[in-house]
Amino acid sequence: MKKGQITVFIIMALLIVGFAILIYLFYPKISLALGFSSGNPQNDFESCIKDDFNEVVLTISSQGGSLNPENYFSYKKDKIEYLCYTEEYYKTCVMQKPLVKNSVESEIKRGIKDKVNECIGNLKSNYEKKGYVVSMPGGDFSVELLPKRIVVSLNNSITLRKGEDVQNFGGEKKKFSVAFNNNLYELTSIASSILNSEATYGDTETTIYMDYYHDLKVEKYKQGDGTKIYILTDRNDGNKFQFATRSVAWPPGYGSV
């Protein structure tokens, strides 16, 4: 009997621990779905957009910085945008997106716009249900690649009022913003350097970058039509940015660069 009781207690303890882990992992999403909140709109906003944000960034990073590539090379099921391209032989490529960082920021913003608007609406509704008067002036939002992080900022502030209690989140000095750990800033900076070399010389020596940035892996795969696929990978976290170029291409049968 005592042995059976001990077994029951062990099973109950395991269930309690498992339930606690599930609450820890999924509480932010569950609370928002049920109309609860953490008491901090920025935390709630981050939890709301996180999954969509990560999915958009992953897609853009694998497609040369574009949500919907137009001039691309198909490589291992990915449509990889040409960031420097010429259809002619022997000539160096022309930059397609001279400001890669700015272009990527715009694509991320476009990809999460609907989700951001949805989450803002949910925040307002959830806090009103808790008895707050919510002031949320209309406005745009921005996406910025910064060292080691990507920041999403609302261009307005949020004020919560309940009786005499007034809480302000964001404003002129400090925007209402959330930051996600990601080194896309560093990867796009290196991509820009490679693209400048492709546009100037027609090729890039990848080992130079790996000698200087020890946590970086740079791969270059030459294709039969003169296209090159560059894959930049952070060895620490596996984050990638890949893009295509076609520069100083040789006609079939005349060798290669």
Read off the pLDDT of residues 114-133 as tens digits, 9 standing for 90 and up: 999 999 999 999 999 988 98
C-alpha 61/C-alpha 67 separation (Å) is 9
What residue type is assigned to position 236 of the chain? N
Contact 108, 96 (CB under 8 A): no
Above 70 in pLDDT, residue 67? yes
State the pLDDT at residue 26.
Answer: 47
The SS3 call for residue 24 is helix
Report CA-CA distances (Å) from 201 to 148, 188, 191, 254.
30, 20, 15, 19
C-alpha 218/C-alpha 14 separation (Å) is 45
State the pLDDT at residue 164.
Answer: 81
Mean pLDDT of 155-172: 81
State the pLDDT at residue 173.
Answer: 58
What residue type is assigned to position 93 of the chain? C
pTM: 0.81
Above 90 in pLDDT, residue 186? yes
